[in-house]
């Protein structure tokens, strides 16, 4: 991996590393630049949400049966607009859209398919907790103008890139094209993302877990027993959970930690979605040396049956995830 000096912008990083990627095309760089643009617009809006009256729900429900927050709508529309006129995608799948979205006839289509959760953690908007955009990028397989379900209902190992933008104390875009994971922090005074986390790597093991313990009584009893054991004070574990997947994941990627969302009585297949939550974050965590399973299977090997399919998720440092797999195999 080339050495990047202080002040490397996202654009420079993309150009320099894309030359190293056989088959990478200019449109891939353009796609990521449009993602960065949409991220800047969302960051500005999130920072001003309270002032701009963007707090609070619209009163409508999305396909997930969740109340839609105004910023969700703004983020969804902003990413769709940034992508549809740039000639870089042939289809967009969004948590906020019941069905896939296609490029309007007025614009050219491109060779990529984009899946996104435009604003994950939106129930935390009014509490000023970190929220974010999660995305996954496939190169299309289908011919013709519009993408097809076959372009996205495929294993995460096929992804060409995945990332997220976390809107927190700062705005950080974290990205991987499969080799290494890199973070770029937005300097709002110049409107540029600068390389701030070069080649993020997870240690083999951590002693921190993230889960909603209120549901623990609904988990597999073997998991309950594991949780009881790690609380032995001599083991020195800590717990961190903010109820915003992007915020919890980003902390665990930077500092280490095991995130768990096991099946519950209410969410028997898990709560988190495959295409635009579990799979992109699993792509990132594996590129950083970590691991990610649904309790028994590697997330990246699973083929979703529909674009909003949910999955249980155990993701983080490799040895911690392997320990959970062992607990649930035994």
Q: Round to whole Å and give the CA distance between 186 and 180.
A: 20
The CB-of-298 to ligand P6P minimum distance in angstroms stands at 20
Closer to ligand P6P by CB, 62 or 244: give it. 244
- Residues 196-225 close enough to bind ligand P6P by CB under 6 A: 212
Q: Round to whole Å and give the CA distance between 212 and 239.
A: 10
The CB-of-311 to ligand P6P minimum distance in angstroms stands at 13
Q: Is 31 in the site for ligand P6P (CB under 6 A)?
A: no
Give the closest residue to 140 by CA, choosing from 168, 111, 164, 160. 111
Closer to ligand P6P by CB, 123 or 142: give it. 123
- Cβ count near 14 (within 10 Å): 21
- Residues 85-104 close enough to bind ligand P6P by CB under 6 A: none
- Residues 113-132 close enough to bind ligand P6P by CB under 6 A: 120-121, 123
Q: Give the C-alpha distances (Å, rounded to integers) separating 221 from 97, 228, 240, 294.
A: 36, 10, 22, 16
Q: Give the C-alpha distances (Å, rounded to integers) separating 267 from 96, 235, 257, 260, 261.
A: 19, 31, 23, 13, 10
For residues 202 and 289, is the Cβ–Cβ distance under 8 A? Answer: yes
The CB-of-95 to ligand P6P minimum distance in angstroms stands at 9
The residue range among 22-30, 195-203, 239-247, 294-302 that interacts with ligand P6P, by the rule CB under 6 A, is: 239-247
Extract the tokens encoding 276.
């635009």
Q: Round to whole Å and give the CA distance between 114 and 139.
A: 9
SS (H, E, C) 199-212: CCCCCCCCCEEECC
The CB-of-277 to ligand P6P minimum distance in angstroms stands at 7
Query: Where do runs of H (alpha helix) occur along the chain?
Result: 10-18, 26-47, 70-84, 221-230, 245-255, 279-287, 318-329
Q: Is 285 in the site for ligand P6P (CB under 6 A)?
A: no
The CB-of-64 to ligand P6P minimum distance in angstroms stands at 8
Residue 151-180 contact track with ligand P6P, rule CB under 6 A, x = bound: ------------------------------
Q: Round to whole Å and give the CA distance between 159 and 266.
A: 30
Closer to ligand P6P by CB, 4 or 67: give it. 67
The CB-of-248 to ligand P6P minimum distance in angstroms stands at 6
Q: Number of residues interacting with ligand P6P: please give it, by CB under 6 A.
A: 8
The residue range among 15-23, 38-46, 227-235, 242-250 that interacts with ligand P6P, by the rule CB under 6 A, is: 242-250
Rg of the chain, C-alpha, whole Å: 19
The CB-of-219 to ligand P6P minimum distance in angstroms stands at 13
- Residues 258-277 close enough to bind ligand P6P by CB under 6 A: 271
The CB-of-243 to ligand P6P minimum distance in angstroms stands at 5
Q: Give the C-alpha distances (Å, rounded to integers) separating 248 from 198, 244, 258, 282.
A: 20, 6, 10, 14
Q: Is 245 in the site for ligand P6P (CB under 6 A)?
A: yes
Closer to ligand P6P by CB, 140 or 310: give it. 310
For residues 275 and 147, is the Cβ–Cβ distance under 8 A? Answer: no
Q: Is 243 in the site for ligand P6P (CB under 6 A)?
A: yes
Q: Which residues are near ligand P6P by CB under 6 A?
A: 120-121, 123, 212, 243-245, 271
């Amino acid at each position: 991996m080339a050495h990047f000096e202080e002040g490397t912008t996202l654009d420079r990083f993309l150009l320099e590393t894309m030359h190293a990627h056989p088959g990478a095309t200019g449109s891939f760089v353009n796609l990521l630049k449009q993602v960065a643009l949409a991220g800047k617009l969302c960051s500005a809006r999130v920072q001003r949400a309270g002032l701009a009256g963007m707090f609070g729900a619209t009163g409508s429900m999305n396909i997930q049966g969740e109340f839609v927050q105004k910023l969700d709508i703004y983020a969804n529309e902003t990413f769709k607009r940034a992508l549809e006129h740039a000639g870089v995608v042939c289809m967009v799948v969004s948590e906020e859209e019941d069905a896939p979205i296609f490029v309007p006839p007025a614009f050219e289509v491109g060779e990529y398919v984009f899946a996104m959760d435009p604003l994950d953690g939106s129930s935390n908007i009014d509490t000023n907790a970190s929220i974010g955009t999660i995305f996954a990028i496939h190169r299309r397989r289908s011919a013709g103008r519009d993408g097809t379900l076959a372009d996205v209902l495929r294993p995460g190992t096929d992804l060409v890139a995945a990332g997220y933008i976390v809107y927190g104390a700062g705005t950080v875009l974290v990205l991987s094209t499969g080799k290494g994971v890199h973070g770029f922090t937005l300097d709002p005074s110049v409107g540029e993302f600068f390389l701030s986390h070069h080649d993020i790597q997870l240690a083999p093991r951590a002693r921190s877990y993230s889960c909603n313990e209120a549901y623990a009584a609904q988990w597999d009893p073997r998991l309950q027993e594991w949780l009881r054991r790690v609380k032995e004070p001599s083991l020195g574990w800590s717990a961190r959970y903010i109820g915003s997947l992007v915020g919890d994941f980003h902390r665990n990627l930077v500092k280490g930690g095991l995130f768990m969302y096991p099946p519950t009585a209410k969410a028997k297949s898990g709560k988190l979605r495959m295409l635009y939550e579990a799979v992109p974050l699993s792509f990132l965590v594996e590129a950083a040396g970590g691991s990610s399973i649904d309790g028994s299977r590697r997330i990246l090997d699973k083929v979703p049956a529909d674009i909003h399919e949910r999955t249980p998720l155990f993701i983080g440092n490799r040895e911690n995830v392997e320990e959970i797999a062992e607990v649930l195999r035994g």
